[in-house]
Amino acid sequence: MRSRLRRDIVVGLILFFVLFFLPTLFPKPALRDFLIYVIAYGLLAMSLNLLIGLTGLVAFGHAAFFASGAYTFALLMQWGRTSIPVAMLAAILGTAVLALVIGAICVRLKNIYFSFITLAFQMFLHSVILTWVSMTGGDQGLQGGIPRPVFFGIDLNNARTLYSFCVVTFVLCLAIMRQVSESPFGYTLRMIRDNPERANFLGVNVVRMKLGVFVLSGAMASVGGIVLALFVSGAYPEFGFWTTSGEAIFMLMLGGTQLFLGPLAGALLLEALNHYITIYTEYHGLVLGVVILVIVLGLRRGIADSLFAYVTQRREARRIDEVKRPILQPTKNEPA
Amino acid sequence: MNLEALVACLTSASCAVTQISTALIVGTLLFLVAAGLSLIFGVLGVINFAHGGFYMLGAYFAFTAYKLSGSFIVALVAGSLGAGLFGVLFERLIISRVYGRDLLMQLLVCYALTLILDDGVKLIYGAEYRMMGMPAAFAVAPVQIAGAFVPGYYLFMVAIALATGLLLWLGINRTLLGKTIRALAINPQMVGVLGVNTAALYAGVFGVGSLLAGMAGALAAPIRTLTPGIGFSFLIESFIVTVIGGMGSIAGAFIAALLIGFIRAFGAIGFPWFVEGLMFAIMALVLVIKPTGLLGREAA
Amino acid sequence: MLRVDNLTKSYGGVKVTRGVSLDFPTGSITAMIGPNGAGKTTFFNLISGHVRPDAGRVVFDDQDIVGLSSLEIARRGMARAFQVATLFPSLTVREAVTAAVISHRGHSWQVLSRFPLQSARARVDELMDLMGLTSAADTLSSILSHGDQKLLDIGLALAMNPKMLLLDEPTAGMGPDERWRMIEKVRSLWEKQRITVLFIEHDMDIVFKIAQTIHVLKYGAVLAQGTPDEIRGNNDVIEAYLGTDQRLSEAVGEV
């Protein structure tokens, strides 16, 4: 399976170069800013897909980790004694610990219970952010800006350098997530998604595996929050509000859960959509809500997943025609 | 932490009575919303993430009805029935299409509906805070209990909520319709075979659940400020209530709602910054020790 | 290999397993029969840790396993295939078997290597060959024929190198030809892999042909146990089955 690894590396490099040089080809600050938003929310959506698409855990409170990354990073930088990389690592680790604590309670629950409990914990974090005004600035958000001291000769006060730094961070995170989903761990998660009881009878510790991916996914979401905090030079309670989690789920629906880069496409689409909706109306939620309803009720699945299912069906149909197996033909009697 | 204040309040009859009345108000409102959430989950197997929206609708419908008619009874009926009707429509037009489908889709339609309701209310009523004001019928001197003054409206509210809860419990546990609904929760095919219109029953149950949330909104309208998005925080708390009390259990919701009410009322004096934390800690504890909740039977 | 003493379980006052005591020697192949509702699948659930018994002892490989989770019991070497084959629909046959092998070897947590571990390959090929699934290696398990799905289900269980294999109606839902092919597979597994096998089966021809010992359950209690010949001549068994299971009365009648 060396060829799959090679393909992943090639796709990763292409993505990197496209993102890296796009602002050089179209040197507009607006495009660069837009792409940073796509990167931040893309990380949120892609990390969420580790839970939803890969493991079958429909988390509805993922923005908690997005916000935790943003606030931890921003507060550490404002404290003024850490460099950017150290603060980033600390924020990621801190969020991983938070995810470990929340996850330890959540992953024992199934289906919609899991969804709601993750949402509840997110809203708890949100209310902590709102009430702990002395620390977080409450509903005004973290004021005063985030300093960007030079490290290793890299000066993130330069907008182009900041963008490049975000792209590198982004592609690095993507590489980690891709590797994990293609590893033995990733395939064990697929077993759990398909059939947790059976996986359990095959000696898989389902609860611990779920907790493992929950922590990883939370840590990756925190990187998205860090990127956004770095870019907007602050942190806001909206990062951890339930609508942010809702948007991440909508991104998955737009881009699909079955293709690795699908959620990124979803983030791109939704960010573009948001961009235009906010230009034309202040009733952003109304328009977005109607768009979601039309898509959900119009299609039976997400846009990309519908396409994906269609293509897979066609491919399988062709395969079955080719391989006519003689042993154990299907019978009409289904088991009782 | 200000435990001295808490002890001082508990030992003073008037303070204790004031806080108990607050606890009962919070508890009964939560109970109505949570009972609806729990009922819908118990029968339809759907946790309605848009449930908070019906609370908000109830409050705003009551607000408008009161402004138009000047009668609080009309406002209460309008808020409850309006939200209930919306619930039936929502179930028939949207939720019923995602039964048995991806959980993701259920979440998304509820998310979409909440966005639409919040913005719809903003469109019609504006984003600013609104006050309905105490209805004229209750603009009387507060009742004096042990040196504390308790507004007459509080007593009315608690009475209405208790009566509704009792009626709901009797309806589910003591009537033929209730029996059918309980059967529907266990085996819908069987009930369908017996010639019952299950689709109508589903819509009805969803409607009653929404009606309860709407009634809570209407009852809260005279004493709380109205703003788009008020439903959502209520949704989270009522979810905590249903988890503690046990999904699908009306009695469990009642006990847990009162518990949360008391934590809110007395915690506000003793440990205001830890009230939310305590609620979540209790929920986490219940989930770890007894995942089905205090009185729940359904496995989590 | 497995000994069960006085195993008891009731649900809401209804006793579904009543003081069952049975012995399954190492290397034996045993059938469990009984009319519908006799508590056969419950018995499987009890010994595999899926359901906790109210009372009684389950000694597996010289250790009391009551109270252990199904995960721990599975890891001690008791594997199970299900009445309705339960698989991983989105994985191909090869992927599913590989994942099972990886899990058995404790490699599930590896994140730095790529999935189809080279080290697992030989074992995976061997298992697919054993179950006759080599030509379907790259087929999604959800679109396998019914019989192949059951074979894969057993193959997944074998990936754990089990000491004991529990098969819940391995031939359920199959046509007559398929049935015999499946049972030949089970017999050859037992002979060649030296696994202790316990299976639930309704087809009495099959039971009498391959089981060394037969345990008959009725209303959750052991009605009879013995060799096929002893069971054939047991009046209690004939009585229990007459009118309830046409196939047994026919099979018994033929003797």
**Facing A198 at nearest CB: one of C86, C136, C146:** C86
The confidence score (pLDDT) of residue A207 equals 93
- Residue B119, chain A, CB below 8 Å: the answer is yes
pLDDT, residue A327, reads 40
For A154-208, write each residue's pLDDT tens digit. 888 888 899 999 999 999 999 999 999 999 999 999 999 999 988 988 889 999 9
Q: Do C103 and A203 touch (CB under 8 A)?
A: yes
CA distance A180 to chain C (A): 5
Q: Which of residues 291-330 of A touch B (CB under 8 A)?
A: 292-293, 296-297, 300-302
More confident residue, A11 or A111: A11
Apex A249 CA angle, A246 and A255, nearest 5: 140
C-alpha to C-alpha distance for B236 and A125, rounded to whole angstroms: 12
Region of poorest pLDDT, from A73-77, B2-6, B55-59, C49-53: B2-6
- pLDDT of residue A4 exceeding 80, the answer is yes
Whether A318 shows a pLDDT value over 60: the answer reads: yes
Token readout for A69 is: 């990354």
What is the pLDDT averaged over residues B85-94? 92
Q: What is the pLDDT of residue C248?
A: 54
In this complex, which of B94, B103, B243 lies closest to A293 when CB atoms are compared?
B94
Report, as an integer, the average pLDDT of A78-89: 91
Q: Give the gap in angstroms from C-alpha B110 to the nearest C-alpha of chain A.
A: 9
Whether pLDDT at A324 is above 50: no
CB B280 within 8 A of CB A124: yes
- Give the per-residue SS3 of chain A: CHHHHHHHHHHHHHHHHHHHHHHHHCCCHHHHHHHHHHHHHHHHHHHHHHHHHHHCCCCCCCHHHHHHHHHHHHHHHHHCCCCHHHHHHHHHHHHHHHHHHHHHHHCCCCHHHHHHHHHHHHHHHHHHHHHCHHHHCHHHCCCCCCCCCCECCECCCCHHHHHHHHHHHHHHHHHHHHHHHCCHHHHHHHHHHHCHHHHHHCCCCHHHHHHHHHHHHHHHHHHHHHHHHHHHCCCCHHHHCHHHHHHHHHHHHHHCCCCCCHHHHHHHHHHHHHHHHHHHCCCHHHHHHHHHHHHHHHCCCCHHHHHHHHHHHHHHHHHHHHCCCCCCCCCCCCCC
Measured CA angle at B97 (ends B95, B100), to 5 deg: 90
Enumerate the residues of chain C whose CB falls inside 8 A of the CB of residue A186: 111, 115
Cβ–Cβ under 8 Å, residues C171 and C183: yes
Mutate to test the interface with B, among A113, A131, A197 (most CBs of B within 10 A): A113
**How distant is the Cα of A120 from the closest Cα of chain B, in angstroms?**
6
CA distance A109 to chain B (A): 6
Q: How many residue pairs bridge chain A and chain C with CB atoms within 8 Å of each other?
A: 154
Say yes or no for a CB contact (<8 Å) between C139 and A319: yes
Q: How far apart are CA B205 and CA C238, in angstroms?
A: 51
Q: What is the pLDDT of residue A183?
A: 93
Highest mean pLDDT among A318-332, B9-23, B137-151: B9-23
What per-residue confidence (pLDDT) applies to C241? 67
Q: Which of C90, C112, C173 sits opposite A333 (nearest CB)?
A: C173
Question: Which residue of chain A comes nearest to C150, CA vs CA?
Answer: A328
Q: Using the predicted structure, report yes or no on whether residue B1 has a pLDDT greater than 70.
A: no
Q: How are strands ordered across the β-sheet holding C55-60?
A: C14-24, C2-11, C55-60, C63-64
CB atoms under 10 Å from CB of A33, counted, come to: 15
Contacts across the A-B interface (CB distance below 8 Å): 115
Q: What is the mean pLDDT of residues A85-97?
A: 96
Interface test with A, best of B37, B97, B98, B111 (most A CBs within 10 A): B111
Which tokens sit at A299? 């299609």
Residues of chain B with C-beta less than 8 angstroms from the C-beta of A289: 111-116, 119
Residue A329 scores a pLDDT above 50: no
Closest CA to A191 of C107, B199, C89: C89
Instruction: Say whether residue A204 is in contact with chain B using an 8 A CB cutoff.
Output: no
Sign for the CA dihedral angle at B7, B9, B13, B17 comes to: negative
Q: Which two tokens stand for residue A160?
A: 């182009």
Q: Is B217 exposed, middle or buried (0-12, 13-18, 19+ CB in 10 A)?
A: buried
Angle between helices B103-125 and B51-69 (to 10 degrees): 20
Judge whether A281 is closer than 8 Å to chain B, CB to CB. no
Q: Which of A1-5, B219-223, C181-185, C233-237 has the highest mean pLDDT?
A: B219-223
- Asked if B116's CB is within 8 angstroms of A293's CB, the reply is yes
Contact yes or no for A109 and B283 at CB 8 A: no
pLDDT level of residue A301 (50, 70, 90 thresholds): low
- pLDDT, mean of residues B16-32: 91
Per-residue pLDDT averaged across B104-113, rounded?
86
Listing DSSP states for B102-156 in one string gives: -HHHHHHHHHHHHHHHHHHHHHHH-SS-B-----GGG-SPPEEETTEEE-HHHHH
Is residue B176 within 8 angstroms of chain A, CB to CB?
Answer: no
Does the beta-carbon distance from A191 to C103 stay under 8 Å? yes
The nearest alpha carbon in chain B to A291 belongs to B112
DSSP state of B226: B
> Which chains does chain A touch, 3 or more C-beta pairs < 8 A?
B, C
Residues facing B149 on adjacent strands: B144
Question: Percent of chain A scored above 70 by pLDDT?
Answer: 91
Contact A252 B104 (CB under 8 A): yes
Among the partner-chain residues B105, B107, B116, the one whose CB lies closest to the CB of A290 is B116
| Most confident of the following: A119-123, B255-259, C64-68 | B255-259
Query: Is A120–B104 a contact, with Cβ atoms under 8 angstroms apart?
Result: no
Q: Which residues pair with C224 in a beta bridge?
A: C216
Quick one: average pLDDT of B19-45? 90
CB contacts under 8 A, A 206-245 vs C, are: 206, 209, 212
State the pLDDT confidence band at B141, using cuts at 50, 70 and 90: confident
At C75 the three-state DSSP class reads helix
Q: Which residues of C touch A327 (CB under 8 A)?
A: 132, 135, 147-148, 181
Tokens of C69: 């989770």
- Specify the range with the lowest mean pLDDT, choosing from A315-329, B79-93, B234-248: A315-329
Helix (H) or strand (E) holding C102: helix C93-104
Q: What is the pLDDT of residue A1?
A: 53
User: CB A115 to CB B47 under 8 A?
Assistant: yes
Kindly indicate the confidence band of residue A330, based on its pLDDT and cuts at 50, 70 and 90.
Answer: very low
Separation between Cα atoms, residue C144 and residue C150, nearest integer Å: 9
B185 in contact with chain A, both atoms CB, cutoff 8 A: no
| A105/B291 Cβ within 8 A | no
Between these two residues, B63 and A328, which has the higher pLDDT value? B63
pLDDT tens-digit map of A231-270: 999 999 999 988 899 889 989 888 888 888 889 988 998 8
DSSP string computed for C119-168: HHHHHHHHHHHHTT-GGGTTSBGGGS-HHHHHHHHHHHHHTT--SEEEEE
Question: Do B and A count as touching (3 or more CB pairs closer than 8 A)?
Answer: yes
pLDDT-flagged residues of chain C (< 70): 241-255
Quick check: B138 pLDDT over 90?
Answer: no
pLDDT of residue B299: 42
Touch criterion met for A and C (3+ Cβ pairs within 8 Å): yes
Contact A171, A15 (CB under 8 A): yes
Contact yes or no for A250 and B106 at CB 8 A: no
pLDDT score of A332 more than 50? no
Query: Which of C73, C104, C108 is the best mutation test for A, with the most CBs of A within 10 A?
Result: C108
Q: What is the mean pLDDT of residues B91-110?
A: 83
Mean pLDDT of all residues belonging to chain A:
87
